A and B are shown apart, each in its own frame.
Chain A
Amino acid sequence: MIDQVRLKIDELLSGGLVKGVLALATANGHVAPCLFQKGDDLGKLSLGDTENPGDARYPLNKVLVTIARRYPDEVFGVLVRGCDERGLFTLYRLNQLEPDRVVPIGITCPPSLALACECKKPFPDEITAGETADGFPQKGVDAIEGMDLHTRFSFWTDQFSKCVKCYGCRDICPMCFCKECSLECEDLVSKGDLPVDIPVFHLTRAMHMADRCIDCGLCDEACPSDIPLRLLYKKTSRIMNDRFGFTSGIEKNEKSPLSVMGPAPQK
């Protein structure tokens, strides 16, 4: 699979179709985001798999936003999995990236990763390499919904109380790009204090994720307290889907129901 990706990157770079390709590379035994430019050694390319599939994924779209802000007229290639492609569609919708300045290089996720993520669509629309695996039902959300109100309330309160307010969930999130963040608004969240404001901190973020979260799971992986943030955002996404038939990033040009004035779109 990696050879096909190398070939595609080489084709884009040598053909002058892109200024650079944002992907992952191995250096010093570690995997990190890397911007490949013409003439660079593609031997160090990594797809983010070390011991297990997808265990060294990084928010490449977030990096792309940083680079595109500095070089708005250039075209860049970017390595995407299913979730990353949903991320691109969402960033187009939110005017953070321009579709005609991005060339996605799509790879699929293996069934094991799709299952671990309980991912609905573990592959991008445009696939450069890999076989498509089936999506999996979100049993984690079903389990939470199956709890009675009291148990569920205690579950989340206990989880939120573990928070050390590192802001890692926001900082790693490829969908978080705001220059002013509500989580730093002192009317909502007290500054420099622990314990965290429960449930304002996490529910504010969950609200903001409702029409943005593309279920990449990087927040879960970044949380030093193992708070199941992804599960929380999966739940908000499910509400959006049940009420409005909307899933963030699934369709390229779909508007968010939260940005539509007037009656709610029917599902």
Chain B
Amino acid sequence: MEYKNTLTTCTYCGCGCNLFLETLDGKLTNTTPCKTSPVNEGKLCIKGWNVHQFVQSEKRLKKPLLRKNGELTEVSWDEALSFTASKLKEITQDNGPDAVGFLASAKVTNEENYLMQKFARAGVGTNNVDHCARL
């Protein structure tokens, strides 16, 4: 019998709420907000309260999807990345770098977001950088 509460940070947005993921015998059973966290003081939003559900969800995407003949199809990371790269090249060559935009995410780290805007500005050459919270 193994019951554990693992302290972690919510991945949903940039607030950084602390929560405990509760596991019983290795399976996630619940999410509990951390009361001693100075960030969220024992409170969460509806997304945070349900973190344990999406982790184990059957509907969770585990592989990249590419639309082929109008249908989303599972492909390898290599295929997804080379398709994206070739399309990015094609569009920017034909229409200039401002024909594309980059949408950053609250669900990744600060460093990953930094890399993305660097890639957009220095690599591709556009200032079209925005955040998923404004979608």
Contact = CB atoms under 8 A, between A and B. Distances in A.
A37 interface: yes
B35 interface: yes
Given A56-B35, A66-B30, A70-B25, A34 B43 contact: no
Contacts of B42: 221-222
Interface stretch (B44-52, B65-73, B78-86): B44-52
A166 B46 contact: yes
Nearest to B18: A30
21 contacts: A19-B1, A20-B3, A29-B36, A30-B34, A31-B35, A32-B5, A32-B7, A32-B20, A32-B32, A35-B3, A56-B35, A66-B22, A66-B24, A70-B25, A71-B1, A166-B45, A166-B46, A166-B49, A167-B46, A221-B42, A222-B44
Going nearest first, the 8 A-B pairs with the smallest beta carbon separation are: A35-B3, A224-B43, A32-B5, A166-B46, A30-B36, A56-B35, A166-B45, A171-B49
B43 A223 contact: yes
B92 to A, nearest CB: 38
A9 to B, nearest CB: 15
Nearest to B31: A171
B5 A34 contact: yes
A144 B31 CA distance: 34
A50 interface: yes
B35 A33 contact: no
A58 B3 contact: no
